[in-house]
Structure 1
């Protein structure tokens, strides 16, 4: 007997929203490497009242059902700031997105993506990019390499079947993102140690940890460097004040003064590196819920984190120094100081750097110089509509 075709409908009610969130926990329940996100975090991401991204974007969520059961979900969304970016940087006029994708089988995937494409066409879009969930700064790309281990904090993980299903619908690679891992219990190669030592003798250079008591001021310094450093990168969309406020609220508990560095040259902040202890190690056993005692366990962990892995999700050097020896020296100094603190203060043995655009030669060279290796790859796909 043939399987009934799934039907797709928009998310309208609180019950729909709950079903949208809950589906991922059912479909990924048997994947030992999937980390169940906290449900309240997922709810905040899709709530326009709680996610500052919606101040310049709109999204429609869809559910796929078959036989009375929810079997798939997807978002279709438009980011007005992405529409304003130069087309040669990846987005630009006519570019819409889809994401938050989960599907029970290929038939479900096909009808969901078709629905997202139709919604984007109705909004005047001529090209679809996905998966991006929801902002390019949140969870971009489909995991295509690295399914054999769990993702670190703020990184995505999905079924390996999704790649074939998406590509069968005519989607091709728009960009590859890579993540590197490195053993941080070992000293970096002698050349890197000499570069760091020489930098420490240079009176013009100061590497400092952030001051959490001046959180907003430090965040503004990092943001200014980020927007300057990344402005010409593929997929860049500037962060807005509402998003910055939300990110600050979300990440403040994970901010530790010895893991986030700002580099100053002649007393001017010119580079930064953000490092986070892998909270996924504490979140994974909670199964997505802080009740009944998960909140206490997580609070205890946050007071004094012990983590096998630390992740560097963001780093940047001001544009005028990029491709210079000084930029590399500052980067290696920040990496080395954070490596020492991670091992000594958090019990970490492993570092992860990413995402990195696969054509970002400066960052790839730094990753190679510290003898790290690619452990995860994500693809962002596109297709004309």
Structure 2
């Protein structure tokens, strides 16, 4: 007997968070999310998302066994900013059973329709500011930090229910053995040219992190505002993210561009913490996970470039090239084996061509789907 129930209790929430661990227990590429982080993300009063928007979690059962999960998400800030009536689905995981998937999505669509949504989009875990996209190419390795992962059969599950491609997101790979110092040599020339225009590139100042983060939020919300599906982060949302990132950020990998003291762009890369999380059972830091986290962090040999943006009026001046060239040199100095730049919209011609020019290879592809309600 198959059924779908809304998540209403703490015990059900725990089961919702833990379900992927059982589903992927034999998959060597699976990386568990930190339990405490997922719990806070999904609990009203803990994460700032819940101050302006709502969601409903669902669990699918076959008998007493959980066989699927999904979240129906109504992001009011997204709809207000984009003047749309979109609904989202996220946190989707399911056994290879079309009936179970259809039952889960039936609940999502009914809930969103009742809230006035005209379209369902996903997978998106709140917005494009968080984890989003379904992996459709590149199943032969683990995801990098803050990137999703799923079984290949998910593609068929979604498309059989009438969900269609909205847009693809690309992840590019830089391998150490293919290192080319041309971008770095070029970036040094461009940096001198920029300095003549009073534009400097510097690392983030962690001693003044709170003020730096406030300026970064302004840049983020203005530099990315034309991206598909973008929604500005509220001050509380950005502070929440910045607080988490401070635990892993390396100033050498967080670069800021300033013009006469005013911040005009930044790039951010973070160590691939997933290399450690893979070894933390069920995402629990206690009792022993915290020691693994501390001991293994020094062995991380890859980074993910998660954000790079310059405000309008300062683009195509070479600032982006200096960000990439400088960061690549730092990867080399720190003996990193691999760097990933992700994600890039497939229709962002300038960014995609720039990465290809630096010998980066597109090695993973993620897809966001949509369906009219």
Would the TM-score normalized by the shorter structure come out above 0.5? Answer: yes
What corresponds to 1:47 in structure 2? 43
Cα shift readout 1:215-242 (whole Å, capped 9, x = no counterpart): 1111122211111111111111000012
Residue pairs, 1:197-276, within 5 angstroms:
197-202=188-193, 203=195, 204-276=198-270
Unaligned runs of 5+ in 1: 87-91
Deviation at 1:134, TM superposition (A): 2.4
Query: How far has the Cα of 1:301 moved from its partner?
Result: 4.3
Corresponding position of 1:373: 361
CA RMSD of aligned residues (A): 1.5
Deviations 1:132-188 (A, max 9, x none): 112321111111011110001101001110101100111111111111001245543
The CA distance in 1 between the partners of 2:128 and 2:12, in whole Å, is: 25
Q: How far apart, in 1, do the equivalents of 2:73 and 2:164 lie? A: 19
Q: 1:96 aligns with which of 80, 84, 87?
A: 87
Which residue of the partner structure matches residue 64 of structure 2?
68
User: How far apart, CA to CA, are the structure 2 residues paired with 1:134 and 1:200?
Assistant: 37
**Aligned runs of 1:26-175 on 2, under 5 Å?**
26-86=22-82, 92-104=83-95, 105-175=97-167
Q: Tell me, yes or no, if the aligned pair for 2:264 and 2:311 is still in contact at 8 Å.
A: yes
Please say if residues 259 and 275 of structure 1, whose CA atoms lie closer than 8 Å, have aligned partners that are also in contact. yes
Question: Given the two structures, how large is their TM-score scaled by the length of structure 2?
Answer: 0.95
Question: Which stretches of structure 1, 4 residues or longer, exceed 6 Å deviation after superposition?
Answer: none
**Residue matched to 2:271:** 277
Shift of residue 342, structure 1, vs aligned partner: 2.4
CA contact (8 A) 1:184 1:339 kept: no
Task: State the distance in 1 between where 2:178 and 2:136 align.
Answer: 29
Residue segments in structure 2 that go unaligned for 5+ positions in a row? none
TM-score (norm 1): 0.92
Shift of 1:197: 2.6
How far, CA to CA, are the matches of 2:306 and 2:332 in structure 1?
Answer: 18
Match of 1:89 in 2: none
Residues of 1 paired with 2:311 and 2:213: CA distance? 15
* Gap change, CA 1:245 and 1:44, over 3 Å in 2: same
Q: Does 1:341 align with 2:334?
A: no
Q: Would the aligned equivalents of 1:100 and 1:134 in 2 still touch at CA under 8 Å?
A: no
Tell me the CA shift for residue 93 of structure 1: 2.4
